Structures are given as C-alpha cells and as structure tokens.
A and B are shown apart, each in its own frame.
Chain A
Amino acid sequence: MMVIQLLLTFVLIVTPFFPVLAGPTSTTYELKEYGFGSGGTEGTNSTNYSLFGIGGEIDADKLNSTSYTSENGLTYTLQVNTPAAPTFTNPGTNYDRLKYVIDNGGNPTDAQFLLAISKDNFVSTQFVQTDNTVGTGQVWQTYAQWGGASGAYVTGLLENTSYSLKVKARQGNYTESPYSAVASVSTSVPSLTFGIDSAAVTFTNLGPGNSYTDTTKSTVLTTSTNAYNGYIIYGRDTAVLTSGANTIVNFASPNSAPTVWSGIGFGYTTDDNNLSGGTADRFTNGGAKYAGFGTSTPGDPVADHTATILTPVSNEVFNITYRVTADSVTTLPGTYTTTVVYVVVPTY
C-alpha cells in the first residue's frame, strides 16, 4: 500500500514536466503542425506572358520555358550563375588536344567549375581532370585553376574526332548550376609534308685545282607538320663512295661528336643548331663541324624540330652541306657514287 501511494505521488509530481508529442520530432525539434500540399498548377498563358506554377512536390515535373527552369520543390536562391558555353577550339590544327576557355558566369573567384566532355554528344560523359587529361572522376576547380581567361588544352584525345564540352558551376553545397550550353569542335589528323631540293648531287671533279676537295654541294630539307612532339630526320648512306673496286671512306668523326674537317673522306655538316642525339649545337658551334654518314638504319639525326608544336610548323628548312676530299696519291681516278637516304619520322 505504501508503495502504491509513493508511485502515485511520483506520477502526479513528474508527469506535468513531460512534453506532449504531436508531430515528427528530432532530438531538438518537433514539427507541431504539418500537411501535404497538392502541388502547383502548370501553365497559365496569355498571348504575351506565361505564368508557371511552382512544383510543390519533389517528384513533380520540371517546368521549362525557353529561358527559365523551375526546379522541383526546392528554392534555388543560393544557386550560382550558370556559365555560358565554353570557347572550345582547335587553333593549332592539333590531333590530340583541343583548347578550351571557360566562362565564369560572373561568379565569385572561389566558385568551382566542372568540365564534362564527350565524343558521342553526351551519350557517355567523361570529365576533364586536374592535369587536363580525360577521366571518369568529377573534378571541380576554380576559374583560375582551369586556366582563367587564357584557358588550357585538354589532352590525350583521339584524332579526327568531334568532341563536345559543357561546364557547370558551384560555390559550396546546394549551389550547383545546371550545365552550360554545349560547344563542339573536332581534332585534326596528324600530317607530315617533306621535300628535298634535288634528287642527286654531282660533285665537282677533284684535282689539284681544288686541292682534291669539294665543299659546295648541299641538300635542302623542307618539312611541315602538326605532330605535337615535332619530327626527326635521320641521314645515312648505303655504302661508302665507290668506283668499281675503289672507295673513298666516310669521314671518321661520328654524328655525336663532329669535328673540324681534316684528312680525307666523305662527310656532311648541318645548320641545325639545336639537334638531338648529343650537344645541341655540336655541328655549328665555332664554325662548321663535320661527321661521316653511317650505313645502319635508320641513320643519325641530321635535322629535327624538338620543341613542342602547338601551331603547325610550315616549310621548316635545314641545309645539309657535303664535303668530299680525296687523297692526291692513293685515290684512283674514276666516278665514285653512293646513295644518301633521309628518313623523316614524327617524334612521338
């Protein structure tokens, strides 16, 4: 009996302090009153105006006009400005990269942008990465990080392919804009154009009058390309200068270490002062240095363009000047011939 009285007393004292719960609650809050709306009404039109209802439910249809979109059930007061379509071009007729400049849409400097790229008009979508390659992960960066007003090149693309690019922006959570309009452009095809000025070289007859030497003959190599890493021209001969059983040897100095001419032989020098395969100006520094051709394929570098090509190289000219010196005693009279081969390949 005593226990029952104590329990009743406790209930009467404590119960008034317990809250009465009418609606859904969280740890801190309670929703006192709530109800479900029936959603907005779509499309009240006159000749000049169109009044769109607000979609009250999250799964209501999105309402669109030409210029505006009413998103579903949410208010977008914090949404950043939607950027305009990016500038997407191929200024250097490149085959593996395209240039983009995004529009910041008047957003603050800390706004971030996502660049979506596709080669099938967004049936499948990839994204530009921090290193400007294309990948599957979404990468958000600021306008400055995407190259600002100068833009940047998206690389690793397929040749002769049309790519589309679109951009969206955000500035913190729940502020993401829709995608911009799409810009499209195609990559080019890598090409190489090559020419020499003459298909044969006839040396002056060697004799006492010219000290058994001719240094006046040359070949002009002309190249055009849009290959990103440029090109290399290798030179070799198929054999030493030969007349029946008699020969004039190739000049002894190798391509990697050409020297001032001395002695006899058949050699060459190049006016390329930035040549790969050794010290860049080894043929030109301190006057013309000579080397002898080798006979193994593909040969030695005699001219090249090693700098990155973002604007196509057009008719780049290099001169290969030959020198032949015979020995007045040991070189026997005759017509000496050989074949010089120039192989041009793009640098990859």
Chain B
Amino acid sequence: MLEKCGFEQNVIRGYQVFLRNRQRELMYFSKHVFGNILLIRLLVALALSVILFAYFNPKSISAAREGTLTKPFIRVSPVILNITLSPGKSYEYDLKVDNLLSSPLPVRAVLDNFEPTDEDNSAQTQISPLVSWITYDPKDMIIPAKTQKIIHLKVNIPSRVPVGGYYATLYLEPVLPSQRTAQTTSIHTRIGVIMLANIGVPGLTRQAEIIQFSFDKWLYEKGPVKLTFRTKNLSLYHFSAKPFVILKPLFGPARKLEIEEKIILPGKSRNWTKDLELPDYWHGLYKATLAVSVGNGQQIIRSTYIFGLPFNKLAIFIGLIVLFLFVIRRRKNWKKFFRTLFHP
C-alpha cells in the first residue's frame, strides 16, 4: 500500500512538472505564436488537468482502500439448523460453504458440543449425544477461488433415545496462508453452525413460566420505561418465545408493543431488557400485561401496574390554581387598587 502511495506521489510530481512546462510554452506562444495552435494546446492542457486531478484525488484513494480492507472471505449456509427428528431414523442435510476469495481457501470442519448462551449471553458448554450421532464429509477441503463446496451431514438417531432437545455445533475453520507461516501473533477464525434438534414430536401444550416481569420504577414522569422480564422453558423441547407488552390505561385504547423473539432451550431461561417509549399524554394508572407466545397460539401472561405522573404539568397546574385562589381572596384589595388607579 505504501509503495502504491509512493508511485502515486511520483505521478503527481510528474504531472506538476508537466503543468510547469505547459506554462512555459504558453508564455512562449503568447510572445511568438498567434492563432489557433495556442487555443488548442490550452484546451488540451485544461482537459488533461481535469482528468488527472479527478484520478489522483486523495479522497478517491482513501475510499478505495476502505473498500478492499474489510472484505469477507467465507460464507456458510444454513448457519442455523432447527430440526425435528424421530428415533430410529436417518436424516441428511447439506451445508454450503463459499470461498469468496480469488485464491483457494483450505477449510477444516470440526464437530463440537453446543455452547448455549446464558441470559447474559455468556456461553456455557453443553455436552450432547447428538455429536456422536452425526457423520459428515468432507472434514478437510480446499475450496477453489470463488466457488462453493457442499458438506454432507448425516444424522442417525438411535431407536431408543429419550425425547427432548439435543444440540451440537459444526465449526468451520478457514486456514489462511499467513497463518501457516506466522512468526508473530496469528489470527484464526471459526464460524459456528448451530444445530438445534427436537427429538420426538413436541406436544401442543408448551410448558413455560414468566419468572420475572418488572419495571425499574412504578412511577414515571415520562419515557423511556425500562422493562425487564425472564422466561423459563419447563419442557423437554426448545421453542421460540415471542413476547409482547400491552399497556392499557384506565380510559382509552390499549397500546401493543412487540418484542424480539428468542429460542429458549429446555430448562433454560432467557432475559429481555427493553426501553419502552411512552406516549405524550402519559399520565394515570396503566395496566401492563406481558404475553409470551410459546407457539401453537399459546401464551403465558403476567400483569403489573405502573403510574404515569407528569410532574412539570402538574406543578404548572397547581401554580395556576394557587394564583387563582390568591386573586379571588384578595379581590377587595384589587378593587381598591383599580379604583385608586382609574379614579384618583
């Protein structure tokens, strides 16, 4: 990159010399030559200067560098396999791996235990027999430039296996050329393909529980309202929990706020923290109802109450009342004052 900069500076210097020569020629022509030749040379010099300035503009160089700096080199799909399996059966899946580089890319595939993120997104290793039921091919491959390779996955489920959720991760490790010869700190990458399998057919009834539903305060002057809730999966299967909150004032229409979905693994709980914006006319008692949809149209529901009190508006209102009462109580004095003022 530095060499390229040096080259560009040399070209710019050369161009400056070129322009100086043109200026000398112009002076010569102004003294000795008249007519069309002068005009043509002037126009050519002008056109060249415009083209060269545009090409060697420092901003253009900077943009080009940024574009090439952050180029991704590997694409994997699907990156989440959310599947339902049956005991005693075999299943096959294809994983597509794309080399986006213009040179061959060695890639190693490694099957490992699943590391589910906890409520705070910290990862914990979970050992699952699903790893031993999966075979895949190839394990090591060299993907030619700008092409795609398929990894074939085969899942053989034993005939006698407890129903429930089973999980694994297939890591894809690209091996970049400089990693093999690194004399200093080398940087490795891995892309994890998550496999979430429910074995057996989950029942229509999902068992889940809202174990926390709270706001940081019970009295708000204005938004945002900080909402925290946690939901625990009490069933053997994982499912996607889809929450929404309904804020219902004593009078007036309710407001429904949708919140992002998360998959909850068996026995695990997930945490949501949201800042909810409030309407401008926020005051009075509100019933906040949290409904978490756990699939098949089922919801688990919990409610609480929060109070909206606009202190500023209230203070102005009370001030006006006090002023009004003061005026009323002192009306005799005011009458005297006005009488004195207008009829001295």
A residues contacting B by CB (< 8 A) are 95-96, 129-133, 135-137, 139, 155-156, 159-160, 189-203, 219-220, 222-225, 227-229, 232, 234, 241, 276-278, 297-298, 301, 304, 306-308, 315, 317, 322, 335, 337-348
The answer to whether B115 touches A298, judged by C-beta atoms less than 8 angstroms apart, is yes
- List 13 extra interface pairs beyond A129-B296, A347-B117, CB under 8 A: A129-B293, A136-B296, A191-B79, A194-B75, A195-B72, A200-B182, A220-B70, A338-B185, A340-B188, A343-B190, A344-B192, A345-B115, A346-B80
Q: How far is the CA of A130 from the CA of B185 in the complex (A)?
A: 54
Known contacts: A133-B297, A301-B121, A315-B72. The answer to whether A348 contacts B194 by CB under 8 A is yes
Give 10 A-B contacts (CB < 8 Å), ordered by A residue.
A131-B299, A135-B296, A192-B77, A197-B70, A229-B260, A339-B185, A341-B189, A343-B189, A344-B189, A344-B191
Q: How far is the CA of A340 from the CA of B80 in the complex (A)?
A: 25
* B261 cross-chain contacts in A, Cβ below 8 A: 155, 228-229, 308
The answer to whether B262 touches A229, judged by C-beta atoms less than 8 angstroms apart, is yes
B336 contacts A by Cβ under 8 Å: no
Known contacts: A193-B100, A227-B79. The answer to whether A317 contacts B187 by CB under 8 A is no
B179 contacts A by Cβ under 8 Å: yes
The answer to whether A193 touches B74, judged by C-beta atoms less than 8 angstroms apart, is yes
The answer to whether A241 touches B74, judged by C-beta atoms less than 8 angstroms apart, is no
The answer to whether B184 touches A198, judged by C-beta atoms less than 8 angstroms apart, is no
Interface size on B, residues (CB 8 A): 55
Q: How far is the CA of A197 from the CA of B120 in the complex (A)?
A: 29
* B186 cross-chain contacts in A, Cβ below 8 A: 199-201, 337, 339-340
B123 contacts A by Cβ under 8 Å: yes
The answer to whether B80 touches A190, judged by C-beta atoms less than 8 angstroms apart, is yes
Task: State how many angstroms separate the Cβ of A61 from the closest Cβ of chain B.
Answer: 36
Q: How far is the CA of A234 from the CA of B189 in the complex (A)?
A: 10
Q: How far is the CA of A311 from the CA of B278 in the complex (A)?
A: 26
* A96 cross-chain contacts in B, Cβ below 8 A: 82, 240
* A199 cross-chain contacts in B, Cβ below 8 A: 176-179, 182, 186-188
Q: Which of B70, B77, B196, B263 is within 8 Å of A191, CB to CB?
A: B77
Task: State how many angstroms separate the Cβ of B13 from the closest Cβ of chain A.
Answer: 29
Name, among B80, B244, B261, the residue most crowded by chain A CB atoms within 10 Å (CB to CB). Answer: B80
Known contacts: A135-B297, A199-B182, A335-B183. The answer to whether A190 contacts B78 by CB under 8 A is yes
B328 contacts A by Cβ under 8 Å: no
* B293 cross-chain contacts in A, Cβ below 8 A: 129, 131, 133
* A340 cross-chain contacts in B, Cβ below 8 A: 185-188
The answer to whether B71 touches A335, judged by C-beta atoms less than 8 angstroms apart, is no
